[in-house]
Structure 1
Amino acid sequence: MGDKMTPIPFNKLMDWIFEEHEKGTVFGLRRPYIANPKRYYEIFGKKLETPMGPAAGPNTQLAQNIVASYYGGARFFELKTVQKIDGEDLVVEKPCIAANDECYNSEWSTELYVSQAFDEYVKAWFALKVIATEFGLGAPDGFQFNMSVGYDLEGIKLPKIDRFIEGMKDASDTKIFKECKEWLAKNMGKFKKFSVHDLDAIGPQITDSATLSTLHGCPPQEIERIANYLLTEKKVNTFVKCNPTLLGYDYARKTMDEMGYDYVAFDDHHFKEDLQYEEAIPMLHRLQELGEERGLEFGVKITNTFPVDITRQELPGDEMYMSGKSLFALSMSVARNLSRDFDGSLRISFSGGADAFNINEIVDAGIWPVTMATTLLKPGGYERFDQIAKNLEKLQVKSFRGVDVEKTAAIVESAKQDCHYVKPIKPLPSRKSRKQVPLVDCFMAPCEEQCPIHQDITSYLKLVQEGKMEEALEVIIDKNPLPFITGTICAHTCMNKCTRNFYETSVNIRKVKLEAAKGGYDELIKKLKKPEITSDKTAVIVGGGPAGLAAGYFLARGGIQATIIEKKEKMGGVPRNSISGFRMNDEDIDKDVSLVKAMGVNFVNNTTVTDIDELKKEYDYVILSVGASEKNTLVLDGKETYDGIEFLEDFNQTSGHVNLGKNVAVIGGGNTAMDVARASKRNEGVEKVSLVYRRTKRYMPADEEELLMVIEDGIDFAELLSPVKMEDGQLICKKMKLGDYDDSGRRSVYETQETVKIPADTVISAVGEKVPAKFYKENHIELNERGRVLVNPETMETSVPGVYVAGDCVFGPATIVEGIRDGKMAAEAILGKKFDHEFATMTPSEIVYGRKGNLNEESPEITDGTRCLSCNSICESCVEVCPNRANISIEVPGMKKHQIIHVDYMCNECGNCKTFCPYDSAPYLDKFTLFATQEDMENSKNHGFLVVNKETGECKVRIAGQISDYKVGTDSPSVPEGLRGMIDTVVKSYAYMFV
């Protein structure tokens, strides 16, 4: 494998389009956008059915990329930039795209030779003309191409660039134009609607507009000379790309910091070296006047790239270019400033974070055409154009009458507060699993994979969506006996993995679980029957928290009589005694407890266990789930702080009447610290609560949701402070500073000599609890060097036979659902069987595909059930995000799920599919690969195959480095059945993939 793409010949391109269309897709897209012939914009004196399309980037590099864009709804195509350095001379380190949130890239112009790029654009021009008519997608003159050239006048005047520009203006004498037209003329029999008349109407004027792209540091005189040249010598309508550096360093840095992008590193050298705003205004006035004199349109393209430093190994090298949501407010700020200083008369083409959420307000402000790249590089891919085009149908079509200055300014201010552009407080966790992607059946639901108990999330989401609450709750309690507790305060790591995060926000899985619990409980509890006791053995669980309740529940379901002993008055553990005061009510906890009790579990309360040997005389098995119940008291200069868990219990018992004083300081940054701070704020007499942590809130271990609730409660964040001592109603802290980034992306921190005083009548520490080591030692249970119980990780059994543990004592303070996992594991070990029933509820493919590509937040009309992408049924993220369409979904007879084939010759190793594959894998390296030539196969280590003879079906297949011969339709011990099926299917049904 190499990173050089092989363009598809025109005849093969057309065969591919039409043969795949027979299967219902075109380059993987399933929803063609049908334009209204009566609705069109006008620019450069020509029609434009939708005022948007792909930006000059990875999505306009190859003909198939442009075809996919058009099929999805794009009608304005800013072609990838051509420049003097091309082909083999252009070195782009790979991977070159990192689009997991805001986007970064390190490639800027076509990786093809200029002559190849020209051919791609002409092929695409013909292909779009044909399918517009043949597939009824719109008028054949309803789209426009826009060439992009750079980066200096000397380079633009080179013969190869000049030929490119002149050829785009009139391609009639070019070899590729003649070749395309001749092939169509000879193959008119393939078409039902496209006629000879339509062919004759295809003109050679590919485009008479250009967008000038200049490198950072290009002198203003050079920019003006190039624009003059394009307007006067080349006689093309011209846009000049403007950089965000026009805003000045201080504005850009302040805006980025305020919007949460303080970690994005850049200095002021580009701002000093680039075109200055005071130079830009008169220059643009002159060029605007020149365009009017020449009868050509002139405007600006906002924006060009925004260079930032590589500090966290996002991409190879030292500098990369930022785009996407983090660029939106900056780009719109440039538009605001220019529209203000030109009274709206300057035409603005826009790119910089546009998507379905903002397209209407951009266009409504008079800013168009709009091009985009980042949104297309995320799951949904080109299919996102369909929603964008349909959104635009809500606007009244207007010719360009100027940019609305007030609307543009309003967009800027709105963007600075909008959750779609403001960075979350916490860095987004990796959404990859630890598993390697399999060669077949690679579809999985990342949410279910991440869940410690592997809840059947997609199944119960579907049932709730259908209104089947009782059935949904049945699915939930199969693995989770505490749906009310987990539906309220679960850490919901499943939601961190939700593919929807790459669209807008996660499906609210936890909330849907609670809906199912509340909607299905009354009916389900009536039907639950105590399982038959099938064993003469008995078991006792010490501790009635989540882990203990889960252990009892699964033991009883498995036929063993189980008893839970709890030292408190009621079952429920930390959720009952520490959290329930203001985050959930006792009634909901009682319902979870009743689900456990319905299984026949015995409850013994107000009883403290100290001697395990005594228990073993009465019970055959013992499970200890006593949690991290020992206080981890923080001592400052000889004075003890108030323990956080102890305070929460006191808060609940006194209904918020703990004597704390007016000012409270809470030390810690985890979820418990957040609960302590919020409870303190609600406590009688407290006026101010300060949350003290040695790093910034971005690096606190607490969940994003917890931090947001603390902010909403008006609690002060006392960041970068390390507590030293308490005196005279104050907490004395050393001020800290953030240092460099480590390999994990977290910043180091170091102490300064400066001190800060925080008002504190009471100081509460929430820095974690400790495992009660003394209890285990006294009962002869071995601990590791960290004071945690040594167990068999497969069974949770301790060093004492027949004694098991579950919960915090094994891995340290854990989440509720991790406690449920441990209790279930211990129960399964005792029972000798697994509770691993899978509710494989497959969502019909037409429903899944109908949701893909659409950005939708939850609303009364759009529920979380309809937002779920059913990844257990269909994933295909690698297919959707590939700009070049090099990952292809195929239907293999006999296999339930679609399979993925990677097409080697179409891939340039940009790395985008690696970003979005839910496995710890890169599909372009790890999926089964189709090779075009023997040389390609030899240059790769991928598992894959080469078709040696298409007629006879003879192939070379490489698996795990071993190459063997295979003939389609035969058995082969060296090629697994699933892979044989994929090869056979490609050869028989997808032969158009062969070049």
Structure 2
Amino acid sequence: MGKVTGFMEFERLEEGYEPVPQRVKNYKEFVIGLNNEQAKVQSARCMDCGTPFCNSGCPVNNIIPDFNDLVFRGDWANAITVLHSTNNFPEFTGRICPAPCEAACTLNVNDDAVGIKSIEHAIIDRAWAEGWVTPQPATVKTGKTVAIVGSGPAGLAAAQQLARAGHSVTVFEKNSRIGGLLRYGIPDFKMEKSHIDRRITQMEAEGVVFKTGVLVGAFPADSKVTNDAKTTITADELKAQFDAVILTGGSEQSRDLPVPGRDLDGVHYAMEFLPMQNKVVAGDKLKGQIMATGKHVIVIGGGDTGSDCVGTSNRHGAASVTQFEVMPQPPEQENKPLVWPYWPLKLRTSSSHEEGCVREFAISTKRFNGAKGKVTGLTTVHVEMKDGKLVEIPGTEKDYKADLVLLAMGFTNPVASVLDAFGVTKDNRGNAKAHTDEGGYRTNVDKVFAAGDMRRGQSLVVWAIREGRQAAREVDGFLMGSSTLPR
């Protein structure tokens, strides 16, 4: 490494945030990234540890010690080359990945982990600023055609890899803009959509064709999934027109809370609420936008989607925001000797929580209360774990005031109609059944593959990129007999 004793000399430096009163007035990113000198100092903390567990902790297996060393030496151009060798879109992961690589960092055993995510963020932002991110069109075309259904991170990664291998790639997206859940699920204050747009420009220069507003198959009439489709295409038409098809849609079926009062006006899925705001930020004119302005908001679900609802509600000007989590409050500090190098269970406080939010743990909703068809509150009870099950604690019922309730309890599976249209066999969770062993990512339907949330279920953006890259290799091998694309 560039400075073998750096981890003993330098402290971890976190990226900064703009002040809360300033950032909640808009939907722009507010993270203050490391400058060149700060990134150099942070990269110097990377140890000569022999076995870099960070590499295996990262789902795309980023070559982390190498790009850290290059940043320390000031060789930023080669740092982005190393980073791009495993990750097509580090500007996405450098902003919204929870950084499992840092949990696996050897220094994290008894100290603060190397700030890997902040260094990655600095590398890609400088690469764009310097003009180092350019199209890489294939020099030879194969004559093979591939259709990709879904334009989220898995679909985009697969499309870019296959286009660079010389195939003609067409991406189909049911909404009016490319990006999938990157576009419509993640608030702009966490990742502005210009990062997607410039990648689309790069990929179009590499030969990828994007078709928006096209629905493959048919959605149920009562589906709550965002859908701006103006035309449809059948599964049979896609299979007839293309040599291979990859299904890369997101896990969009929200987990419901079927308790009394669920049908009251004002109780919504998070993915009804969040995409609306993203569309408004993009300049769309919407009727009936769900707003939190002046309302007492309760978010049910303690994960990232719930946190996004908190941040958006604060920007709307909510009267109050309360977030429920059914599990007990985790410890503020994990037991590192027990869990390292795996992802630890510990209390995580997001930037949205810091903007204003009351958090309640070990709490379950018994019913929604209302008047004249509208939600006015809900009744809860505290729960505890007994014999592996959550049971109610007698005498702990409590009423909360609520004008808006957002259900953010995760997602169960992709929209079944897409898989049904192709006749793809599903696993017991409702995902496409496509293993990653021999013949990886293939479904039971000839020349139809599946990757990302469509195959593995709700997961991280970085896992979607990995799946898209690996599926691209399998499709390339299927079309050509062998593949030189990286695994």
1:546 and 2:153 matched: yes
Corresponding residue to 2:427 among 776, 781, 784: 784
Corresponding residue to 1:621 among 212, 230, 244: 244
Q: Classify the secondary structure of the residue corresponding to 1:565.
A: strand
Separation in structure 2 between the aligned mates of residue 654 and residue 720 of structure 1, nearest angstrom: 35
**Counterpart position of 1:678:** 311
Corresponding residue to 1:756 among 398, 414, 433: 398
Letter of the structure 2 residue corresponding to residue 591 of structure 1? R
C-alpha contact (below 8 Å) 2:177/2:212 kept by paired residues? yes
1:644 and 2:270 matched: yes
Separation in structure 1 between the aligned mates of residue 400 and residue 186 of structure 2, nearest angstrom: 26
**Counterpart position of 1:18:** none
Superposition pairs of residues 80-159 of structure 1, within 5 angstroms: none
**Counterpart position of 1:560:** 167
1:452 and 2:97 matched: no
**Counterpart position of 1:148:** none
Q: Classify the secondary structure of the residue corresponding to 1:783.
A: coil
Q: Classify the secondary structure of the residue corresponding to 2:397.
A: strand
Letter of the structure 2 residue corresponding to residue 487 of structure 1? G
C-alpha contact (below 8 Å) 1:690/1:717 kept by paired residues? yes
Separation in structure 1 between the aligned mates of residue 158 and residue 175 of structure 2, nearest angstrom: 18
**Counterpart position of 1:594:** 201
Kindly state the Cα deviation for residue 631 of structure 1 after the two structures are TM-superposed: 3.4
Kindly state the Cα deviation for residue 803 of structure 1 after the two structures are TM-superposed: 0.5
**Counterpart position of 1:804:** 449
Kindly state the Cα deviation for residue 523 of structure 1 after the two structures are TM-superposed: 4.1
1:816 and 2:461 matched: yes
Separation in structure 2 between the aligned mates of residue 529 and residue 653 of structure 1, nearest angstrom: 31
Letter of the structure 2 residue corresponding to residue 716 of structure 1? V
Kindly state the Cα deviation for residue 522 of structure 1 after the two structures are TM-superposed: 4.2
Letter of the structure 1 residue corresponding to residue 69 of structure 2? K
Separation in structure 2 between the aligned mates of residue 690 and residue 526 of structure 1, nearest angstrom: 42
Question: Closer, same or farther in 2 for the Cα pair 1:774/1:494, shift >3 Å?
Answer: same
Letter of the structure 1 residue corresponding to residue 401 of structure 2? P
Separation in structure 1 between the aligned mates of residue 134 and residue 307 of structure 2, nearest angstrom: 39
Kindly state the Cα deviation for residue 543 of structure 1 after the two structures are TM-superposed: 0.8
C-alpha contact (below 8 Å) 1:668/1:693 kept by paired residues? yes
C-alpha contact (below 8 Å) 2:330/2:345 kept by paired residues? no
Letter of the structure 2 residue corresponding to residue 731 of structure 1? L
Superposition pairs of residues 463-502 of structure 1, within 5 angstroms: 463-502=70-109
- Residue by residue over 1:548-581, the C-alpha shift from the partner in whole angstroms, topping out at 9 and shown as x without a partner, is 0000011112221111111222222212212132
Q: Classify the secondary structure of the residue corresponding to 2:406.
A: strand
Separation in structure 1 between the aligned mates of residue 207 and residue 65 of structure 2, nearest angstrom: 30
Corresponding residue to 2:280 among 654, 662, 670: 654
Aligned-residue sequence identity (percent) comes to 28
Superposition pairs of residues 255-294 of structure 1, within 5 angstroms: none
Separation in structure 1 between the aligned mates of residue 185 and residue 161 of structure 2, nearest angstrom: 25
Question: Closer, same or farther in 2 for the Cα pair 1:687/1:586, shift >3 Å?
Answer: same
Q: Classify the secondary structure of the residue corresponding to 2:253.
A: coil
Q: Classify the secondary structure of the residue corresponding to 1:549.
A: helix
Corresponding residue to 2:476 among 811, 826, 831: 831
C-alpha contact (below 8 Å) 1:543/1:565 kept by paired residues? yes
Separation in structure 2 between the aligned mates of residue 705 and residue 538 of structure 1, nearest angstrom: 47
Corresponding residue to 1:773 among 380, 392, 416: 416
**Counterpart position of 1:881:** none
Letter of the structure 2 residue corresponding to residue 623 of structure 1? I
Q: Number of residues paired by the alignment?
A: 395
Question: Closer, same or farther in 2 for the Cα pair 1:652/1:529, shift >3 Å?
Answer: closer
Corresponding residue to 1:688 among 299, 311, 320: 320
Kindly state the Cα deviation for residue 467 of structure 1 after the two structures are TM-superposed: 2.6
Q: Classify the secondary structure of the residue corresponding to 2:330.
A: helix
Q: Classify the secondary structure of the residue corresponding to 1:495.
A: helix
Question: Closer, same or farther in 2 for the Cα pair 1:620/1:706, shift >3 Å?
Answer: farther
- Residue by residue over 1:116-165, the C-alpha shift from the partner in whole angstroms, topping out at 9 and shown as x without a partner, is xxxxxxxxxxxxxxxxxxxxxxxxxxxxxxxxxxxxxxxxxxxxxxxxxx
C-alpha contact (below 8 Å) 2:127/2:133 kept by paired residues? no
**Counterpart position of 1:725:** 367
Separation in structure 2 between the aligned mates of residue 697 and residue 637 of structure 1, nearest angstrom: 26
Separation in structure 1 between the aligned mates of residue 52 and residue 124 of structure 2, nearest angstrom: 22
Letter of the structure 2 residue corresponding to residue 690 of structure 1? T
Kindly state the Cα deviation for residue 615 of structure 1 after the two structures are TM-superposed: 0.6
C-alpha contact (below 8 Å) 1:470/1:521 kept by paired residues? no
- Residue by residue over 1:353-374, the C-alpha shift from the partner in whole angstroms, topping out at 9 and shown as x without a partner, is xxxxxxxxxxxxxxxxxxxxxx
Letter of the structure 1 residue corresponding to residue 380 of structure 2? C
- Residue by residue over 1:735-789, the C-alpha shift from the partner in whole angstroms, topping out at 9 and shown as x without a partner, is 223558x7xxxxx642122201122111110111232123212321111222121
Corresponding residue to 1:604 among 211, 219, 228: 211
Kindly state the Cα deviation for residue 582 of structure 1 after the two structures are TM-superposed: 1.5
Separation in structure 2 between the aligned mates of residue 499 and residue 444 of structure 1, nearest angstrom: 8
Separation in structure 1 between the aligned mates of residue 134 and residue 148 of structure 2, nearest angstrom: 26
**Counterpart position of 1:333:** none
Tell me how large the CA RMSD over aligned residues is.
2.8
Q: Classify the secondary structure of the residue corresponding to 2:191.
A: coil
Corresponding residue to 2:176 among 562, 569, 582: 569
Separation in structure 2 between the aligned mates of residue 464 and residue 597 of structure 1, nearest angstrom: 30
- Residue by residue over 1:297-347, the C-alpha shift from the partner in whole angstroms, topping out at 9 and shown as x without a partner, is xxxxxxxxxxxxxxxxxxxxxxxxxxxxxxxxxxxxxxxxxxxxxxxxxxx
Separation in structure 2 between the aligned mates of residue 830 and residue 510 of structure 1, nearest angstrom: 30
Q: Classify the secondary structure of the residue corresponding to 1:453.
A: coil
Question: Closer, same or farther in 2 for the Cα pair 1:755/1:603, shift >3 Å?
Answer: same
Separation in structure 2 between the aligned mates of residue 526 and residue 495 of structure 1, nearest angstrom: 26
Q: Classify the secondary structure of the residue corresponding to 2:254.
A: coil
Separation in structure 1 between the aligned mates of residue 150 and residue 357 of structure 2, nearest angstrom: 34
C-alpha contact (below 8 Å) 1:674/1:707 kept by paired residues? no
Q: Whose relative contact order is higher, 1 or 2, with alpha carbons under 8 Å and at least 6 apart? A: 2
**Counterpart position of 1:160:** none
- Residue by residue over 1:602-645, the C-alpha shift from the partner in whole angstroms, topping out at 9 and shown as x without a partner, is 11122222122111111100001111123333332142431112
Letter of the structure 2 residue corresponding to residue 751 of structure 1? E
Gapped runs of 5+ residues in structure 1? 1-29, 32-379, 389-441, 743-747, 838-995
Kindly state the Cα deviation for residue 676 of structure 1 after the two structures are TM-superposed: 1.6
Question: Closer, same or farther in 2 for the Cα pair 1:673/1:527, shift >3 Å?
Answer: closer
Question: Closer, same or farther in 2 for the Cα pair 1:526/1:664, shift >3 Å?
Answer: closer
Q: Classify the secondary structure of the residue corresponding to 1:471.
A: helix
Q: Classify the secondary structure of the residue corresponding to 2:351.
A: helix
Question: Closer, same or farther in 2 for the Cα pair 1:508/1:703, shift >3 Å?
Answer: farther
- Residue by residue over 1:886-907, the C-alpha shift from the partner in whole angstroms, topping out at 9 and shown as x without a partner, is xxxxxxxxxxxxxxxxxxxxxx
Query: Would you tell me which structure has more helix in proportion to its own residues?
Result: 1
Letter of the structure 2 residue corresponding to residue 634 of structure 1? L
C-alpha contact (below 8 Å) 2:328/2:384 kept by paired residues? no
Letter of the structure 2 residue corresponding to residue 821 of structure 1? R
Letter of the structure 2 residue corresponding to residue 618 of structure 1? Q
C-alpha contact (below 8 Å) 1:536/1:560 kept by paired residues? yes
Question: Closer, same or farther in 2 for the Cα pair 1:542/1:706, shift >3 Å?
Answer: farther
- Residue by residue over 1:906-958, the C-alpha shift from the partner in whole angstroms, topping out at 9 and shown as x without a partner, is xxxxxxxxxxxxxxxxxxxxxxxxxxxxxxxxxxxxxxxxxxxxxxxxxxxxx
- Residue by residue over 1:434-476, the C-alpha shift from the partner in whole angstroms, topping out at 9 and shown as x without a partner, is xxxxxxxx94211111211111111112222223323222222
Kindly state the Cα deviation for residue 655 of structure 1 after the two structures are TM-superposed: 4.4
**Counterpart position of 2:30:** none
C-alpha contact (below 8 Å) 2:138/2:164 kept by paired residues? yes
Separation in structure 2 between the aligned mates of residue 636 and residue 630 of structure 1, nearest angstrom: 18
C-alpha contact (below 8 Å) 1:551/1:823 kept by paired residues? yes
Q: Classify the secondary structure of the residue corresponding to 2:95.
A: helix
Q: Classify the secondary structure of the residue corresponding to 1:692.
A: strand
Separation in structure 2 between the aligned mates of residue 699 and residue 801 of structure 1, nearest angstrom: 48
Kindly state the Cα deviation for residue 496 of structure 1 after the two structures are TM-superposed: 0.8
Gapped runs of 5+ residues in structure 2? 11-48, 218-233, 283-288, 333-342, 371-375, 478-482
Letter of the structure 1 residue corresponding to residue 460 of structure 2? T
